[in-house]
Chain A
């Protein structure tokens, strides 16, 4: 079966750095996405990786290793507004998205 694993919940301090991991086992691979979802709101697109390596976008970076079936989302200089759930999704060989259950990130002052 296809599976995406992420930690259920993480806590970090304002101003710090946090890394949210995502491991996947899917039928083929055609890209990995990270979305952010604030409580009660729509998920919004953060990043996309299809090749190995690091993609940086401001305070957020996303890393991919296809051989290890592994990605992480790195958030720097954490702000209170970063408190949200972070969803990892992999596009499989049929171009269907397989979603992880999401990681709830709690930021403390």
Chain B
């Protein structure tokens, strides 16, 4: 069974803390993505990566950074957490070909609360 695993399902952090969200996929996918999901809004893309050590900004990169040192692992970093970053964070991966029914496989999500 193919998997995208997010290491933490629930986190509670304080304002100003540095937060790491880890995502690992076992499907040898080239592409990896970080989204945030908030009530009443569509998924919003934070960052994505098409290859190891490559990263691209999505629609809402401010306040976030990412790291992709290995193909299977994509980390989201909040350098200094703020309350408006309280959200559900979803990691996803897909094969490299950016056409056709190239579907995303999602992790179960990490719900982050910043106090």
How far apart sit A45 and B101, CA to CA, in the bound complex (Å)? 10
B91 to chain A, nearest CB (A): 9
Interface contact B106-A30, CB-CB below 8 Å: no
In this complex, how many residues of chain B approach chain A with their Cβ under 8 Å: the count is: 19
Besides the contacts A8-B40, A33-B103, A97-B104, what 10 more A-B pairs have beta carbons closer than 8 Å? A31-B100, A31-B101, A41-B109, A42-B4, A43-B90, A45-B105, A48-B103, A95-B98, A95-B99, A99-B42
Once A and B bind, how many residue pairs between them come within 8 Å at the CB atom? 50
In this complex, how many residues of chain A approach chain B with their Cβ under 8 Å: the count is: 24
Residues of B close to A96: CB separation below 8 A: 45
Identify the closest chain B residue to A95 (Cβ).
Answer: B98
Residues of A close to B12: CB separation below 8 A: none
Instruction: Take A40-B108, A95-B98 as given contacts and tell me if A45 and B103 are in contact as well, using a CB distance cutoff of 8 Å.
Output: yes
Is A12 positioned at the interface, with any CB of B under 8 Å from its CB? no
Residues of A close to B101: CB separation below 8 A: 31, 33, 48, 50
Interface contact B103-A87, CB-CB below 8 Å: no
Residue from B40, B43, B44, B100 with most neighbouring chain A CB atoms (10 Å): B43
Residues of B close to A30: CB separation below 8 A: 99
Residue numbers of A with Cβ under 8 A of B are 4, 8, 30-31, 33, 35, 40-45, 48, 50, 87, 89, 95-102
Write the B26-62 contact mask toward A (1 if CB under 8 angstroms, else 0).
0000000000000011111100000000000000000
